[in-house]
Amino acid sequence: MTQGGKKKKRAVNRSIMLAKKIIIKDGGTPQGIGSPSVYHAVIVIFLEFFAWGLLTAPTLVVLHETFPKHTFLMNGLIQGVKGLLSFLSAPLIGALSDVWGRKSFLLLTVFFTCAPIPLMKISPWWYFAVISVSGVFAVTFSVVFAYVADITQEHERSMAYGLVSATFAASLVTSPAIGAYLGRVYGDSLVVVLATAIALLDICFILVAVPESLPEKMRPASWGAPISWEQADPFASLKKVGQDSIVLLICITVFLSYLPEAGQYSSFFLYLRQIMGFSSESVAAFIAVLGILSIIAQTIVLSLLMRSIGNKNTILLGLGFQILQLAWYGFGSEPWMMWAAGAVAAMSSITFPAVSALVSRTADADQQGVVQGMITGIRGLCNGLGPALYGFIFYIFHVELNELPMPESPSGGSVVTQYRLQQNSIIPGPPFLFGACSVLLALLVALFIPEHTNLNVRSSNWKKHGGSHGHPHSPQAPGEAKEPLLQDTNV
């Protein structure tokens, strides 16, 4: 037993030293091109999500071909498992990156997030299985935000995070349309090959060009430093929710409003394609328009509303738009209704930045990380629960197709729309109506949140370990809380 333990210890030490050599050159000089910068992080994010954006249309087709009888249920389960695994693993990966550095974990998360891409044409079953399991490492944004936090001052972090989020949105504005065009002209196989090549390019860029952002913190002793359970506990932030009544109201509001949003993002483009009869090009155009309008809403419109009607009223307005949008999706039976509801959806995207701004303005400086961490934890939990809940509601209401999509008409519609109307003409989208009811409850809870108050939550060791939870938990200014339109788990 003793000899075996020594051998294992020597093997671990060799692995640690090998990983260290990959990240740091002799003398502790970071590898890569130039000094660490926000632009390195921006390129990593753009390439990863551009590759996945290209596969938007092919993924919808393969999903329905693989699971023809329970498409929405299986989609919800796949995305739900991925989301829950990401929620559970994010704090541990954040804690390990604090000790081992960001570059190695950027490489790890990008590799495993993009690993399913080539499997789409090799084996669809393995493709979806690997997607669900890849949630353990699908936390690129956590590591990227930590990378950005390492190399920016506090007053510049808001702009840097905004640039990363805008890059994410920009990649999804353009790539679905490009993928749909290439798939129609040259076939989906070319799109998969191109997406795989871009993912490999991203991995090579990290290996060759991205410098380590934490070289000065890497000392040989730190590589063997223990990671406490508090650092790796995904529920650590949620345990503090009930310590302040105002924080409790804010967290309930976030949970009730983001749960349907997470479910919606996981299934809505499949809903447009298979139930509403949208063509691949129409789905790509919808994503692009929604992305552009959301960027405008979260910048110009949000700023005007915050100055004119105040923080709390902006939250209530955003929740009101979300209720209207979800109800419209639920009862909408024509493509033009989806487009109109999409415009309303862009306005509803102001809710979460307004909530984070309220927290930043009312919480004390030493409480910011605690409360923001709770909100981030709740959103991570919703990323797992929302897709599974939507898939289950689609299943129990029998909103399914038992045949492949019909040939598209010149107007972009198809016989699928008629089939869907015959199957369920009263409530085409039951999960969206459930979401509208959930957001209505969130609106009623938000009415009791005071505009100005002092939040009081015991932070205990949170500040000590705050960086270990992937820097979205660290203190943020209002602008820093503007997260991407779609999360890692919902692409």
Please name the CATH architecture into which domain 31-214 falls. Up-down Bundle (1.20)
Q: What is the pLDDT of residue 227?
A: 62
**Intra-chain end-to-end CA distance of the chain, in Å:** 47
233: left (phi over 0), alpha (psi -120 to 50) or beta: beta
Q: What is the pLDDT of residue 473?
A: 39
Q: How far, in Å, CA of 313 to CA of 34, rounded?
A: 45
Residues 228-287: tens digit of each pLDDT: 666 667 777 677 777 778 888 888 998 999 999 888 888 888 888 877 888 888 888 888
Q: Say how many C-beta atoms besides its own lie within 10 A of residue 430's C-beta.
A: 18
| pLDDT tens digit at each of 491 positions of the chain | 455 555 545 554 554 444 444 444 433 444 667 788 888 988 999 999 899 989 988 888 888 888 888 888 888 888 888 888 888 887 788 777 777 778 888 899 899 989 999 998 888 889 998 888 888 888 887 788 788 877 877 667 666 776 777 777 778 778 888 988 898 888 889 999 999 999 999 999 999 988 887 765 444 344 455 566 666 677 776 777 777 788 888 889 989 999 998 888 888 888 888 778 888 888 888 888 888 888 888 778 888 888 899 888 999 999 999 999 999 998 887 888 889 888 888 888 888 888 877 876 776 655 655 666 677 778 878 888 888 888 888 888 776 654 444 444 444 444 444 444 444 446 678 889 999 999 999 999 999 988 766 666 654 444 444 443 344 434 343 333 444 434 444 44
> DSSP letters along 169-222, please?
HHHHHHHHHHHHHHHHHH-HHHHHHHHHHHHHHHHHHHHHTPPPS-GGG--GGG
Q: How far, in Å, CA of 482 to CA of 350, rounded?
A: 9
Six-digit token pair at 421? Answer: 């109307």
Query: Taking the C-alpha atoms of 135, 479, 217 and 22 in order, what is their torsion angle to the nearest 10 degrees?
Result: 40
Phi, psi dihedrals of residue 414, rounded to the nearest 5°: -160, 175
The size of the chain, in residues, is: 491
Q: Is the pTM of this model over 0.75?
A: no
The residues spanned by each domain of the chain are 31-214, 238-401+428-451
Q: What is the pLDDT of residue 455?
A: 61
Q: Which residues lie closer than 8 Å to 344 by C-beta, 6 or more apart?
A: 321, 324, 325, 328
Q: Which residues lie closer than 8 Å to 7 by C-beta, 6 or more apart?
A: none
Contact 259, 265 (CB under 8 A): no
Q: What is the pLDDT of residue 469?
A: 39
DSSP three-state, residue 308: helix
By C-alpha distance, which of 362, 251, 259 is closest to 310?
A: 362
Q: How far, in Å, CA of 158 to CA of 173, rounded?
A: 22
31-214 matches 238-401+428-451 in fold: yes
By C-alpha distance, which of 63, 61, 60, 55 is closest to 192?
A: 55
Q: What is the pLDDT of residue 32?
A: 67
Q: Is CATH 2.60.120.560 what the domain over 238-401+428-451 is classified as, yes or no?
A: no
By C-alpha distance, which of 119, 118, 137, 114 is closest to 129?
A: 119
Q: How far, in Å, CA of 262 to CA of 487, rounded?
A: 8
DSSP three-state, residue 286: helix
Q: How far, in Å, CA of 60 to CA of 183, rounded?
A: 12
Q: What is the pLDDT of residue 413?
A: 43
Q: Which residues lie closer than 8 Å to 198 by C-beta, 6 or more apart?
A: 47, 50, 51, 54
Beta bridge partners of 30: 24
Residues 276-314: tens digit of each pLDDT: 888 888 888 888 888 888 888 877 888 888 889 988 899
Q: In a 10 Å sphere around its CB, with 0-12 CB exposed, 13-18 middle and 19+ buried, how is residue 220 labelled?
A: exposed
